[in-house]
């Protein structure tokens, strides 16, 4: 079973993946995980890291398709490992996957141009490159305003190592990413999608344990179906 965690920056994907990984192992499942991009493990991953540091110029200087090819290339380089882990595990958890590329690069386009881009990129990664489709995509929904605040706090803590990347620096871009994620979740673009809100009705962040409980319930439902 291949489960992808998706959501805008700051949504807690890595935290929820780790909590699920620990819980599934306690239940006796064989669990593996991968995080994309693989910044230091692949040639394309290192290019992605340089792009996010702004070494190729500002966000507007790099065409969406060019940036998308870097992220897609990182997964193509990882395909053999991905296939091996999927075969050897009961549960393979992915921190970002194809949908992240669709959302982050699709956010830079609008209207018909965005629609054509999303179709092209999904075809490239799944059909041309042959990446496996997720069994389930868990979309952690977080309001962009909350995400921006969390990212600003994180950037202050990480200032010694470079702070935020060029995707995180633009609040309006973050909002557009959230918009595309909503479109992807609504269309169930590449697999069944389940949406988990990270805030309560008053807009307060939910405890991570509460979110994890919902994650586990959804996993159990799909495993038993």
Q: Where are the domains of the chain?
A: 2-224
Alpha carbon distance 123, 223 (integer Å): 27
Phi (first) and psi of residue 33, to 5 degrees: -145, 155
Alpha carbon distance 195, 198 (integer Å): 10
β-pair type (136-141, 91-95): unpaired
Give tens-digit pLDDT for 126-141. Answer: 999 999 999 999 999 9
Q: What is the pLDDT along the chain (225 residues), one digit of tens a residue?
A: 999 999 999 999 999 999 999 999 999 999 999 999 999 999 999 999 999 999 999 888 999 999 999 999 999 999 999 999 999 999 999 999 999 999 999 999 999 999 999 999 999 999 999 999 999 999 999 999 998 888 887 777 665 444 556 655 678 899 999 999 999 999 988 889 999 999 998 889 999 999 999 999 999 999 987
What's the fold here for domain 2-224?
A: Rossmann fold (3.40.50)
Model-level pTM?
0.92
Question: By percentage, how much of the chain surpasses pLDDT 90?
Answer: 82
**Is-contact 59 108, C-beta < 8 A?**
yes
């Amino acid at each position: 079973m291949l489960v992808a965690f998706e959501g805008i920056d700051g949504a807690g994907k890595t935290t929820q993946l780790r909590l699920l990984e620990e819980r599934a192992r306690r239940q006796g499942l064989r669990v593996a995980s991968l995080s994309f991009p693989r910044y230091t493990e692949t040639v394309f991953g290192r290019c992605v890291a340089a792009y996010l540091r702004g070494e190729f110029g500002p966000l507007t200087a790099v065409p969406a398709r060019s940036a998308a090819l870097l992220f897609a290339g990182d997964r193509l380089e990882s395909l053999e490992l991905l296939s091996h882990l999927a075969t050897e595990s009961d549960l393979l958890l992915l921190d970002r996957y194809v949908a992240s590329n669709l959302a982050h690069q699709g956010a830079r386009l609008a209207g018909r141009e965005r629609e054509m881009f999303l179709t092209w990129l999904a075809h490239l990664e799944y059909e041309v490159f042959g990446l496996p489709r997720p069994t389930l995509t868990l979309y952690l929904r977080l309001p962009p305003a909350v995400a921006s605040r969390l990212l600003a706090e994180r950037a202050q803590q990480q200032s010694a190592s470079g702070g935020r990347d060029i995707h995180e620096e633009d609040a309006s871009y973050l909002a557009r990413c959230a918009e595309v994620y909503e479109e992807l979740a609504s269309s169930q673009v590449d697999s069944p999608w389940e949406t988990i809100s990270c805030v309560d009705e008053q807009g307060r962040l939910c405890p991570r344990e509460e979110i994890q409980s919902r994650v586990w319930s959804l996993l159990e439902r799909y495993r038993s179906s």
